Structure 1
Amino acid sequence: MATEHTALPSPELIAKAAALNVFDDAGNEVSFGSIINAQKTILVFIREAQYVMQLASVRKDALEAANARLVIIGCGDWKLLKNYCETTDFKGPVYADPSRGLYNAFGLTQNLDTTPAGEEKRSYLGRSYIGNVMKSIWQGPLKNPQHVGKQGNISQLGGDFVFGPGETCTYAWRMRHTEDHIEVEDLMKEAGVAYP
């Protein structure tokens, strides 16, 4: 049984969201509908760069075999997208939703809570967490001080979805705290993508 954080968005909500625009890495507006209509789309509203680093390990041939693509949407300025891809080694499409219209439409909430006591931390926060944080800081604000303050709302939580093809959704996971992206392996399983 679905709980609030796993409830699928209704067809009506998806239809409304399809008309909302995001920005690509060149600053062009792109409708959400055009992102999900072509093929099955594993869509991650991102919260953690460490998670994107793990998503970068999803094999291109595995995505192709499942007729799927992996897309990232962030809530910061589109001008940061190319640097973000360099920092995380992510090669797929990345978009920016600075108004957080899609974040709000899909019920993604805000808080700064971390993993509750007694709950196991996600694997993407594993042993290399400190190294990944240092890499993010070095390749982000230290290397590009003009980006400071443009990363989006720090309390905005993300979510992980499988859409399409078309205006349908077969899987939804909304983060409940700042370290709560679904495990990449579980997300790929929901999308029918072999991983690793």
Structure 2
Amino acid sequence: MEENKKFFEQKAAVPPSQFIINLDGDEPKLTTSRLKEIGECFVYDEVGNRHTMSELWSEFRTIFVFVRSFLCFTTKEYVEDLALVPRQNLKQAQVRLVLIGCAHWKHIREFKKLTNYPYMVFCDTDYDVYNRLGFQKNKEIGRPGDSPHVKSSSIGGFFSSLYRAVTSSSKFDYQGNFDQQGGSLILSPDLTVHYFHADKTARDHTPINTLLSIAGVKKILFSHDTGSQSKVLNY
């Protein structure tokens, strides 16, 4: 947890009441007792060290993004955009951004390199957190256009995922259950839930600027006109 010391200079002093609370109608009774139970679940970092979930939210308001298999094209393209969130914006708002996958932790480094994702990544290899949050299991990909962050068509994305499956360092390892959907959660150290959403399809993830806005982080403007290297403008 060395990032605690390097990334932030002081804790947020803004009262939680100044932030939006929007449970999006998906909350599986996120009571304090349920959150404490989730807080005791273990997730693993890129070298296999385990951490309790409560460690990740104990100091700062935290945006958790839970994703599908690392091989899924919707996961890759969403995280590529998530990687563009400026570190300074998070620092100014005193917000932590945490990505959680359902693959084995050994895949984290390769996935971070692939997506240029610079922030914390952990894996819930036993699906303990996914199950307790009530995340869905289905094969639904969703329709093109459902997500502003997924640029590939379903067919193109399928072949992209297949190519990565056969060329990755762990050939034909699914890197997470393809039937497992993800979701998002914004939580404060006092266990105030500011936002929760359980994805119904692979393209149903919450738009990144929605997460940033609810957490009190400056939004960013995504432009995909230049291809894979998106231009980001603050506004």
What range describes the TM-score normalised by the shorter chain of this pair?
Answer: 0.7 to 0.9
Secondary structure at the residue paired with 2:47? Answer: coil
The reply on whether 1:35 has 2:59 as its aligned counterpart is no
The reply on whether 1:126 has 2:151 as its aligned counterpart is yes
1:13-32 residue CA offsets vs partner (Å, 9 max, x unmatched): 10001111010000011110
Which consecutive unaligned segments of at least 5 residues does structure 1 have? Answer: none
Secondary structure at the residue paired with 1:176? Answer: coil
Secondary structure at the residue paired with 2:170? Answer: helix
Relative distance call for 1:23 and 1:91 in structure 2 (3 A) is same
Secondary structure at the residue paired with 1:17? Answer: helix
Larger relative contact order, structure 1 or 2 (CA cutoff 8 Å, min sep 6): 1
1:105-146 residue CA offsets vs partner (Å, 9 max, x unmatched): 111111111325xx95110113699888777666x4344242
Counterpart for residue 111 of structure 1: 138
Picking from 90, 109, 114, the partner of 1:63 is: 90
Q: TM-score, normalized by length of structure 2?
A: 0.74
Counterpart for residue 194 of structure 1: 218
What one-letter code is carried by the residue in structure 1 that aligns with 2:77?
Q
CA distance in 1 between counterparts of 2:115 and 2:138 reads 24
CA distance in 2 between counterparts of 1:131 and 1:89 reads 21
1:36-60 residue CA offsets vs partner (Å, 9 max, x unmatched): 1110110000121211111001111
Counterpart for residue 158 of structure 1: 182
Native 8 Å contact 2:27 2:196 kept in 1: yes
Relative distance call for 1:172 and 1:147 in structure 2 (3 A) is farther
The reply on whether 1:76 has 2:97 as its aligned counterpart is no
8-17 vs 99-108, which deviates more? 8-17
4+ residue runs of structure 1 moved beyond 4 angstroms? 1-4, 127-138
Relative distance call for 1:99 and 1:114 in structure 2 (3 A) is same
Aligned-CA RMSD value: 2.5
CA distance in 2 between counterparts of 1:105 and 1:80 reads 23
Counterpart for residue 167 of structure 1: 191
Number of residue pairs aligned between Structure 1 and Structure 2: 193
CA distance in 1 between counterparts of 2:219 and 2:158 reads 24
CA distance in 2 between counterparts of 1:15 and 1:152 reads 25
Question: Offset at 1:5?
Answer: 2.0
Counterpart for residue 39 of structure 2: 18
CA distance in 1 between counterparts of 2:218 and 2:140 reads 32
What one-letter code is carried by the residue in structure 2 that aligns with 1:112?
K
Relative distance call for 1:132 and 1:115 in structure 2 (3 A) is closer
User: Over alpha carbons, which structure has the higher Rg?
Assistant: 2
Question: Offset at 1:147?
Answer: 4.8
CA distance in 2 between counterparts of 1:130 and 1:183 reads 22
Native 8 Å contact 2:43 2:123 kept in 1: yes
Question: Offset at 1:149?
Answer: 2.2
Secondary structure at the residue paired with 1:173? Answer: strand
143-152 vs 171-180, which deviates more? 143-152
CA distance in 1 between counterparts of 2:157 and 2:46 reads 23
